[in-house]
Amino acid sequence: MLEELEIRNLGPIRQARISPSPGMNAITGETGAGKSMLLSAIQLISGGQADAGRISPDAQEAWAQGVFTAVGDDARDIVREAGADGGSDDEGLFLSRTVPSSGRSRAVLSGKSVPRAVLSNVASQLVTIHGQADQLRIVSAARQRDFLDMTASDDRELSDYRGCWQRLQRVDERLKRLKSQESSVRQRKDYLSESIERIERVDPQEGEDSQLKERRTRIEHAAEITTGVNDALHALDASQVDVDAEEPDASALINRAIQSLRSIGVKGSLLEAADRLTSIRADLSDVVFSLSNEVPDEDGVEDLDTINARIHDLDELVRRWGPTLDDVRAWHRQAMLDVQDLDASPEKIVQIEAERSELLSRTVAAARRLSDARRKAAKDLGDTVSRELDSLAMPGSRLLVRVESRLDASSPADPRDGTDDDAMVLDSHGGDDIEFMFLPFPGSTPLPMSKSASGGELSRLMLAMELAAARRHSGHSSMTFIFDEVDAGVGGKAAMELGRRLAALSRHSQVIVVTHLAQVASWADSQFVVSKEDERHDGVLTRVHEVKGDGRVHEIARMLAGSESPTSLEHAEELLESSR
């Protein structure tokens, strides 16, 4: 529901703010005062095309903002996906648009700049505009199909069908991928088999290349290692190198120090020093033991040529399937699985084709159930709208909703069998061609809405359709319906009935109607007047204000007679009273 609309520098409106009521709202005023600018503002915040030519004279930019409350979950989901603040149920959504005199317009959704398309998606859940240009949207087959589904309450059938259709698309994509690969399967399989054989011939072990390279380094430096380790052992514990060595080493010196300190026989810091030296001696023994194992065994030194050859083989594997030996081993494991899949691909294709055939049969059956639901809803919708048209000064006019299943033409012999012909005529929305046909008078040939209805007739036809939809959905809708030129060619009693029907729609949804008929405006819960405030050399300045009480009586009188005579004022009071 539109709670507030604010405008700056749009056409003749320098600044305006209106707060529509939840029910029916009438926008009235003299011709040329700028009533259409209110509609333009709503179109702007709904993601419509920006037109710099509508900016007020001498202004740098135009700006419009709408605040919507009682927003549904679908709209809030779009807001959150856009990264804006969806707010809680009690908070409103702010949709604003800035149109500069030069450059691109800027769309803002609850404080976050978004693409115009996002604003349009959100607004589609909040506002339905029935203006001279906007009415043409319903003439598209997609809009007509969506409107029929919305009134048909066929959510279960539609959901079942879409689920089958999506699964069918995934199976078709999988089949396409497998069949496209079939021509290169053998070449791929040969490559994988040869690669697997080569890796298995080398048989790399985990971490083997690092271990071999470390071993090669030790062999290449065996002499230096032997000399260095022996020198270190001689300094630490000479008995490990030469049992007859007489030169004192670190172990002997530490033992001598320990014995000297313990021989004193005095407890305290001296004894603690002896204990610490004892611990050092133990650590030194561990070091000596480790170094003793590091001395190369001349009898165990491997052939460098053998090691280098092995390293070369491993490096070749890494170069082709690396960058590490672990990657080579992982590639080998995956290649084994891929070869199994390639071996089984013909059988898999047969298996998936069987699955597809069964799934296609279920999809066709779901499409036929959806068609049945649409046909029933089409008749009900046509009858309901036709009755509404009788009340809208269009006696004898009729709406026919045609639902033709493409499946009936593709497989008439056995409608339960799914064939490729059936798959060709299905799409994500089913297998139906849906068209709204309009008969302007009894006996006329049914023609598509765009070819048989005038602007005024199309507006009233849209009103009748919205009334029919409102009857099918109980409760209050968060949608705001905006009607422009719905009263074209209407007057007298028919105008009163038109106002009555708009008021009936407002019991379910918010309604805003731009009208020049007092009989329509009298039914509104709130009335806003667009009036010329000042005429200047560079244009007209316009004021927008709500009228109540006597002010509304005077406006209705002006609309009735163009003046505020006692007779027109009396007539206006009677009209407002009868509408109440």
State residue 44 phi and psi, 5-degree precision: -65, -50
CA 292 to CA 532: how far, in whole Å? Answer: 108
Helix (H, G, I), strand (E, B) or coil at 134: helix
What is the sign, positive or negative, of the torsion defined by CA atoms of 51, 56, 57, 60?
negative
Contact 364, 407 (CB under 8 A): yes
CA 427 to CA 162: how far, in whole Å? Answer: 9
Contact 115, 107 (CB under 8 A): yes
Tell me, letter by letter, the H, E, C secondary structure of 154-206.
CHHHHHHHHHHHHHHHHHHHHHHHHHHHHHHHHHHHHHHHHHHHHHHHHCCCC
Please say which residue of 321, 347, 373 terminates a domain.
321
Q: How many residues does the chain have?
A: 580
State residue 237 phi and psi, 5-degree precision: -155, 95
Integer Rg of the chain from CA: 44
Burial of residue 291, with CB atoms counted within 10 A of its CB: 0-12 exposed, 13-18 middle, 19 or more buried: middle
CA 72 to CA 162: how far, in whole Å? Answer: 23
* Angle at CA of residue 134, ends 52 and 474, nearest 5°: 130
Helix (H, G, I), strand (E, B) or coil at 535: strand
Assign residue 269 a region (left: φ > 0; alpha: ψ between -120 and 50; beta: otherwise). Answer: alpha
State residue 64 phi and psi, 5-degree precision: -140, 145
Of the candidates 312, 303, 298, 138, the residue with the CA atom closest to the CA atom of residue 209: 312
Instruction: Verify that 238 and 118 share a domain, yes or no.
Output: no
For residue 374, being part of any structural domain is answered with no
For residue 464, being part of any structural domain is answered with no
CA 391 to CA 478: how far, in whole Å? Answer: 26
For residue 168, being part of any structural domain is answered with no
State residue 243 phi and psi, 5-degree precision: -65, -20
Helix (H, G, I), strand (E, B) or coil at 452: helix
Q: How far is CA 56 from the centre of its chain?
A: 37
Of the candidates 90, 74, 89, 88, the residue with the CA atom closest to the CA atom of residue 122: 74
Contact 16, 41 (CB under 8 A): no
Please say which residue of 301, 321, 341 terminates a domain.
321
Other beta carbons less than 10 A from residue 268's beta carbon: 8
Instruction: Verify that 1 and 104 share a domain, yes or no.
Output: yes
State residue 86 phi and psi, 5-degree precision: -75, -20
Q: Report how far apart the first and last C-alpha atoms of the chain are (Å, whole number).
A: 23
pLDDT at 363: 95
> Which DSSP letter does residue 419 get?
-
Other beta carbons less than 10 A from residue 215's beta carbon: 14
Could you identify the residue written with the tokens 């009334």? 467
pLDDT at 127: 87
CA 21 to CA 19: how far, in whole Å? Answer: 7
Please, what is the angle between helix 492-506 and helix 325-391, to 10°? 140
Could you identify the residue written with the tokens 């709503």? 42
Query: Pairing state of beta strands 510-514 and 480-484?
Result: parallel
pLDDT at 299: 47
Could you identify the residue written with the tokens 């005095």? 266
Please say which residue of 321, 341, 360 terminates a domain.
321
Which residue(s) pair with 94 in the sheet? 67
Sheet hosting strand 127-130, strand order edge to edge: 112-114, 106-109, 93-100, 61-68, 2-10, 13-18, 539-547, 526-536, 24-29, 510-514, 480-484, 127-130
For residue 514, being part of any structural domain is answered with yes
Instruction: Verify that 122 and 227 share a domain, yes or no.
Output: no
For residue 352, being part of any structural domain is answered with no
Instruction: Verify that 1 and 118 share a domain, yes or no.
Output: yes
- Total domain count, the chain: 2
Task: Locate 317 and state its tokens.
Answer: 């594997």
Burial of residue 443, with CB atoms counted within 10 A of its CB: 0-12 exposed, 13-18 middle, 19 or more buried: exposed
CA 462 to CA 139: how far, in whole Å? Answer: 11
Of the candidates 427, 509, 506, the residue with the CA atom closest to the CA atom of residue 145: 427
Instruction: Verify that 15 and 110 share a domain, yes or no.
Output: yes
For residue 416, being part of any structural domain is answered with no
Structural domain containing residue 306 = 208-321
Instruction: Verify that 110 and 1 share a domain, yes or no.
Output: yes
For residue 282, being part of any structural domain is answered with yes
CA 298 to CA 180: how far, in whole Å? Answer: 62
Task: Locate 128 and state its tokens.
Answer: 């339905």
Of the candidates 376, 455, 462, 453, the residue with the CA atom closest to the CA atom of residue 144: 462
Other beta carbons less than 10 A from residue 172's beta carbon: 15
| E strands in 101-199 | 106-109, 112-114, 127-130
CATH number at residue 95: 3.40.50.300
List the chain pLDDT tens, one digit each, 580 residues: 899 999 999 988 888 999 999 999 999 988 777 788 888 899 899 888 888 888 888 889 999 999 998 888 888 888 888 887 765 556 788 999 999 988 899 999 988 889 988 888 888 888 888 765 555 567 778 888 988 998 888 889 999 999 999 999 999 988 887 777 766 777 888 888 899 999 999 999 988 888 888 888 878 777 777 778 777 877 877 776 666 666 778 888 888 888 888 888 777 888 888 888 888 888 888 888 888 777 666 544 557 888 888 889 999 999 999 899 999 999 999 998 888 777 656 777 888 899 999 999 999 999 999 999 999 999 999 999 998 888 887 888 999 999 999 998 655 444 445 566 777 889 999 999 999 999 988 888 888 886 766 666 777 788 788 778 766 654 456 788 888 877 777 777 778 888 888 898 888 889 999 998 999 999 999 999 998 876 654 556 788 899 999 999 999 999 988 878 888 899 999 999 988 7
Other beta carbons less than 10 A from residue 493's beta carbon: 10
pLDDT at 465: 84
Other beta carbons less than 10 A from residue 357's beta carbon: 14
For residue 517, being part of any structural domain is answered with yes
Contact 496, 519 (CB under 8 A): yes
